[in-house]
A and B are shown apart, each in its own frame.
Chain A
């Protein structure tokens, strides 16, 4: 692997930038691997990286039906936070947040993780009570979160409109200072480069079309558009298409897939210093390093695989943005797009073994999977390598629905998150 450093940049500058090598190979699939990861997003590439780096499994392939990072990894609003209510969730998301904090160094790749703070606005008495409850629960769990008055929120984010005479006035906010954003492509590319250097084969344009099982019912490999590939261990990290892939092994999961939209404005000079989220009026916004305002809208009401959302959903979000930040009313939106998110009934993920021996799944991250990328990747790798979950993902089973042990962040947040 070609290391990036100030010295290598300088040297390439003198060499007219002609000495850069491709960052990962384009290998042909081998007939067999020790483990296969289905899905080349951040979660899947990261799982392959940790399998090789932490668990010593280097004969690993990542199969991606399109191009790496082209699914939800490249389609989200890159918000990273860990201020979830329940103990299990706080442990899970804070595991990921702590990994984000050292990731650029670990990968020798700038994932542009910026802890600029995530501020969640309260617009009514119920919001205030819920956020204060979250803050207390978070602090007991060692997760930073603090309450701001409306004036303090305005000081932290000067463009915010705290006029009391609007339809949904800002009454206060919960701020997680360790939260922030990262660069979506960099996390996929950084993991791909790191995994490739450790011997992992990253195979694009290779769609899994079947899961083959032996006489005892255990996984023996996958059928793909590029032929059969044998493996005793298959980890599925296919986001919105998880139901489609697991249906090939006749495993049915409590998942429904919805389109979730995001949009970006034309780029402007730095004006927006943090991430602002409003669950009540449903708007999320930050400013990218390129200068675009990155805005997250809601999901459509119906299940779909179309990777686009209804215009009225985005319009509603923009109306909320215009009220919160009146100076952005004349901004033009450049692009909007959708990703397919797999949502569980309790809005908590599933990172677990399945009833089929050798088949593992990382899914159900719903509308908030990007923030968990390093943690989910590490925990899926651990589960595959040990054929048993890590204590952090042990509660996030498929069976929790049957057994009544829901981790109900849906009720805790009152919206998808």
Chain B
């Protein structure tokens, strides 16, 4: 089980959180003008990196707020967490 540092509440066990998938995917501003390829990318295609992954978590059994995390998918180490709306922080290698 992961220990996840919620930027609002501090470190809590993974069971208190729900996962929200890849972060920083913007909703299309003009959906009616989107091509099929662009819809495909928005709805289905994900980065799935082996390494650093920016992802959304929600502290559903705590403050209930969404936030973002940088996690290394090779080790599951959480390198940083940050609030929604903030840009991803630089994390040293």
Which residues of A does B touch, CB under 8 Å? 241, 243-244, 252-257, 301-306, 310-312, 345, 401-403
Contacts of A257 in B (CB 8 A): 48, 73
Q: Which residues of A contact B50 (CB under 8 A)?
A: 241, 243-244, 305
Q: Shortest CB–CB separation between residue A381 and chain B, in angstroms?
A: 26
Q: Which residues of B contact A345 (CB under 8 A)?
A: 43-44
Given contact pairs A255-B46, A311-B1, a sample of 14 additional A-B residue pairs in the complex whose CB atoms are under 8 Å apart: A243-B49, A244-B50, A252-B41, A254-B46, A257-B48, A257-B73, A302-B19, A302-B55, A303-B48, A304-B76, A306-B75, A401-B44, A402-B40, A403-B36
Task: Tell whether, in the assembled complex, residue B73 and residue A303 are in contact, meaning their CB atoms are under 8 Å apart.
Answer: yes
Determine the distance from Cα of A1 to Cα of B15 in the docked complex, in whole angstroms: 53
Q: Given A302-B19, A302-B55, is A252 in contact with B1 using a C-beta cutoff of 8 Å?
A: no
B74 contacts the other chain (CB 8 A):
yes
Q: List 9 A-B contacts (CB under 8 A).
A: A252-B45, A254-B44, A301-B18, A305-B73, A305-B74, A306-B73, A306-B75, A312-B15, A401-B45
* Residues in B neighbouring A256, C-beta threshold 8 A: 21, 46, 48
Report the contact-size class of chain B (Cβ under 8 Å from the partner).
20 to 34
Q: Is the CB of A310 within 8 A of B2?
A: yes
- Given A254-B44, A312-B1: A303 touches B36 (CB 8 Å cut-off): no
**How far apart sit A301 and B16, CA to CA, in the bound complex (Å)?**
12
Q: Is the CB of A243 within 8 A of B48?
A: yes
Tell me if A304 and B46 are in contact (CB < 8 A).
no
Contacts known (A303-B53, A310-B2); A402 close to B36, Cβ less than 8 A: yes
CB-CB contacts below 8 Å: B1-49 with A: 1-2, 14-15, 18-19, 21, 36-37, 39-41, 43-46, 48-49
Contact, CB under 8 Å: B19 / A301 = yes
With a cutoff of 8 Å between Cβ atoms, the chain B residues found around residue A255 in the complex are 46, 48
Query: Chain B contacts of A312 at CB under 8 A?
Result: 1, 14-15
Interface residues of B (CB under 8 A from A): 1-2, 14-15, 18-19, 21, 36-37, 39-41, 43-46, 48-50, 53, 55, 71, 73-76
- Contacting residues, chain A, for B21 (C-beta < 8 A): 256, 303
Contact partners of B76 in chain A: CB under 8 A? 302, 304, 306
Choice from A303, A310, A401 contacting B14 with Cβ under 8 Å:
A310
Residues of A within 8 A of B18 (CB): 301
Listed from nearest, the 10 A-B pairs whose CB atoms lie closest are A254-B44, A402-B40, A243-B48, A301-B19, A401-B44, A305-B50, A302-B19, A310-B1, A345-B44, A304-B73
Closest to A402 in B: B40
Rounded to whole Å, the gap between the CB of B64 and the closest CB of chain A is 17
Q: Which of A244, A302, A306, A311 has the most CB of B within 10 A?
A: A302
What residues of B have a CB within 8 angstroms of the CB of A241 in the complex? Answer: 50
**CB-CB nearest in chain A for B40:** A402
> Which residue from A244, A253, A402 sits with its C-beta under 8 Å from B39?
A402
Residue of B nearest to A404 (CB): B36
Q: What's the Cα separation between A253 and B46 when bound, in Å?
A: 7
Interchain CB contact (< 8 A) of B74 among A252, A306, A401: A306
Which B residues touch A253, using CB under 8 A?
Answer: 45
Residues of B within 8 A of A304 (CB): 73, 76
Give Cα A257–Cα B48 distance, bound, in whole angstroms.
7
CA distance A277 to B15 in the complex (A): 25
Nearest Cβ on chain B to A375's Cβ, whole angstroms: 24
Provide the bound-state CA to CA distance between A403 and B37, in Å.
9
Beta-carbon contact of B48 and A402 below 8 Å: no
Q: Within the assembled complex, what's the spacing in Å between the Cα atoms of A253 and B15?
A: 30
Determine the distance from Cα of A303 to Cα of B48 in the docked complex, in whole angstroms.
7
* Cα separation A252 to B45 with both chains bound (whole Å): 7
> Which residues of A sit under 8 angstroms from B2, Cβ to Cβ?
302, 310
Shortest Cβ distance from residue B42 to the other chain A in the assembled complex, whole angstroms: 11
Most buried by B among A241, A257, A301, A303: A303
Q: How far is the CA of A243 from the CA of B73 in the complex (A)?
A: 13
Q: Chain A residues near B49 (CB, 8 Å)?
A: 243
Residue in A closest to B18 when the chains form the complex, CB atoms: A301
Which of chain B's residues have a CB closer than 8 A to the CB of A403?
Answer: 36
Identify the closest chain A residue to B51 (Cβ).
A305
The verdict on A254 contacting B14 (CB below 8 Å), with A304-B73, A306-B75 known, is: no
CA distance A241 to B50 in the complex (A): 8
Nearest-neighbor residue (CB-CB) of B15 within chain A: A312
| In the complex, chain A residues whose CB is within 8 Å of the CB of B41 | 252
Report B51 CB to chain A, min CB distance, Å. 9
Closest-by-CB residue of A relative to B2 is A310
Shortest distance between the CB of A254 and any CB in chain B (Å): 4
